[in-house]
Structure formats: C-alpha cells, structure tokens
Amino acid sequence: MAGRIARAAVTPEPQVTISKNYGQTTVKFGVFEKAISRFALDLYKAEGFAHEPHVVRYLHDTVDRGTLLIDVGAHFGYFSCLAAARGGTVLAIELQRTLCANIETNAVLNDFWRIHTVCAAIGPEPGITQVERMDPTPGKQVTSRQFKAASYPMHSLNHEIVPVVTLDSLLSAGTVEGFDRVIVKLDIEGAEILALRGAKRSLETGAAIFVVEIHLTEIGKFNGSLDEVLDCFPMDRWRMILMEEEGDTEMLREALVAASVRWQGGDGNLCVRFEPR
C-alpha cells in the first residue's frame, strides 16, 4: 500500500480526462496534449467513439481475472486499461517514454495496479535500440527509423535508448504461470513481423492467443510479408479468425489472403486472431 501511495504521489495529473463506456465497464483516460498526436486526441475526445471496436469487443468479452494481456504497442494504455477494468493483468509494452508515463497516469487514475508498464521495443533478439525524439504520431517512432541510412551515436541528443526484448522472453514460464489465458496483442506499425521472429518457442508451444494487427502497407519496410506472418501460424496447429467491426470470421489461410485484398494499398489494417488448437 505504501508503494502504491508513493507511485500516485509522483504521477502527474492529466490535462484532459475522458471517460469511455464499454457495456457495463467504464474506464477513465487521462492524456497530456503534447504526449499524444492531435489526431488521436480528437478521436478519443469524440463522444461515443470506440477505437478498433472489434478488439474492444473481444477483450471486453474475454478478459477476466485469469487473463494476462501483453499489450505490445500500448500507446497511452487504451486496451491495457480496458483489460485491467475487466480484472486482467497487463504488461503494457510501449516504445515511447512519454507514452509510458501516460500509461502509468491512467493506471493511477483508475486504480489499476495490475497494469505493469515496460518501456521497450519488441524484436527478434535482445539488445538496445535508438528511438528518435519526435512528435507523438502513433507508430512514427517505429517506421521513421527505417528510412535513416546511418546509425546515430549513443551521445545523440535527439534519441532515446530503449531495450529490445523478445516475445519468447516475455512469455517465459515465470511470466505466464498461474494464468488461465494469455493474450498477446501486437499493433506496432509493420514491426509485428520482427516481434514474431522473436517468438519461435512460444509459437511452437502455443503459449498464447495472438491478436495481430497486420499493417500491409508497412510490413515490407521490415522485409516482411503477410505470407511470413501466416507461416508463423500453421493451420494444423492454429485457428485464424478475421476480426472486423461487423464480427469475427474463422477462415482458412487461402480465404484470409483473398480477403486481405480489401486492405492492400489502403489505410486499414488486417486484424487477425490466432488461437492455438
């Protein structure tokens, strides 16, 4: 209790507080206007707006006290807070330090002490990486560095240094022990393929349910493809469920690839849930 009081004492008050209702569940969000993009702020302030309602619906209906959610690309904790409100335990993985501070603000605002914020990148192997200090457009810190020809020195004033961890390390026995259900949500602007390359053991053992936002227009920047993502989830061991606002549809691989044409070259992303058989 003393530690919780101490954490709350050093957590700043948010500039804007927004309440969102999901069925019988209400979550408060505190945001700092300079810490998230203007676009995201306007959307979250809009009355009745639910970001990615298909993911919201799944988490609302699925998460309970026996659930661990690993929220990769947590932004300011939108899905993390919903999962915590449903009783789940959350590892909120976020690359940007400003957004990590905002996640912790939201945890305190809602008294969600089962949200654990981890400032890190998810990759194919452990290490450290440099992240540009720039405006808080979602995903920009991930995709912009793909266009830089040179590495920046460690003493750069315009970069954060963050650790790189793998999904296999996060899904270790010590982490998942005691949970009835583990869900990994991946939404990292095309870098989802890098994360999956670091999850070989977990994919072999079916250690979690994976909810993957496949960014068809960005994944090629990481030398990945839709086929490589689907190769990680062989149909004899995994079910593939296309998640859309209108509902969820289980599909075979060929049908899923055919359906992806709707998102090719557009602004939308293909959201697929992979469940171990």
What DSSP string describes 137-178?
A: -TTHHHHGGGG-SSPPPTT-TTEEEEEEE-HHHHT-HHHHTT
End-to-end CA distance of the chain: give it in Å, rounded.
Answer: 41
Structure confidence by residue, pLDDT tens digits, 166-205: 999 999 988 899 999 999 999 998 999 999 999 999 999 9
pLDDT over 90 (residue 136): no
Q: Which CATH superfamily is domain 2-276 in?
A: Vaccinia Virus protein VP39 (3.40.50.150)
Predicted local confidence at residue 275, as pLDDT:
98
| Residue ranges per structural domain of the chain | 2-276
Structure confidence by residue, pLDDT tens digits, 78-91: 999 999 999 999 99
Rounded to an integer, the average pLDDT of 72-101 is 94
pLDDT over 70 (residue 211): yes
Q: How far apart are CA 121 and CA 128, in angstroms?
A: 8
pLDDT higher at 174 or 149? 174
Task: Please report, as a single letter, which amino acid is at residue 228.
Answer: E
Residues 6 or more apart in contact with residue 247 via CB below 8 angstroms: 54
Banded model confidence at residue 239, pLDDT cuts 50, 70, 90: very high
Predicted local confidence at residue 274, as pLDDT:
98
pLDDT higher at 150 or 7? 7
Instruction: Confirm if 94 and 117 have CB atoms less than 8 A apart.
Output: yes
Q: How far apart are CA 108 and CA 275, in angstroms?
A: 32
Predicted local confidence at residue 115, as pLDDT:
97
Task: Please report, as a single letter, which amino acid is at residue 127.
Answer: G
Predicted local confidence at residue 133, as pLDDT:
78
pLDDT higher at 252 or 145? 252
Query: Nearest 10 degrees: CA dihedral of 219, 222, 227, 232?
Result: -110
Residues 6 or more apart in contact with residue 8 via CB below 8 angstroms: 108
Q: What is the pTM of this model?
A: 0.92
| Least confident span in 139-143, 234-238, 243-247, 248-252 | 139-143
Predicted local confidence at residue 140, as pLDDT:
62
Q: How far apart are CA 94 and CA 97, in angstroms?
A: 8
pLDDT over 60 (residue 147): no
pLDDT over 90 (residue 206): yes
DSSP per-residue codes, 69-126: EEEET-TTTHHHHHHHHTT-EEEEEES-HHHHHHHHHHHHHHT-TTEEEEE-EE-SS-
Look up residue 69 and give its two tokens: 């959610």
Predicted local confidence at residue 137, as pLDDT:
66
Rounded to an integer, the average pLDDT of 33-44 is 75
pLDDT over 90 (residue 35): no
Q: Half-sphere exposure of residue 108, counting CA atoms within 13 Å on the CB side?
A: 21
Predicted local confidence at residue 139, as pLDDT:
62
Task: Please report, as a single letter, which amino acid is at residue 79.
Answer: F
User: To the nearest whole number, what is the mean pLDDT of the chain?
Assistant: 88
Predicted local confidence at residue 266, as pLDDT:
60
Predicted local confidence at residue 149, as pLDDT:
43
Banded model confidence at residue 63, pLDDT cuts 50, 70, 90: very high
Q: How far apart are CA 167 and CA 221, in angstroms?
A: 21
Instruction: Confirm if 117 and 104 have CB atoms less than 8 A apart.
Output: yes
Predicted local confidence at residue 169, as pLDDT:
96
pLDDT over 60 (residue 163): yes
SS (HEC) of 197-223? HCCHHHHHHCCCEEEEEECCCCHHHHC
Q: What single-letter DSSP state applies at residue 12? A: P
Predicted local confidence at residue 37, as pLDDT:
74
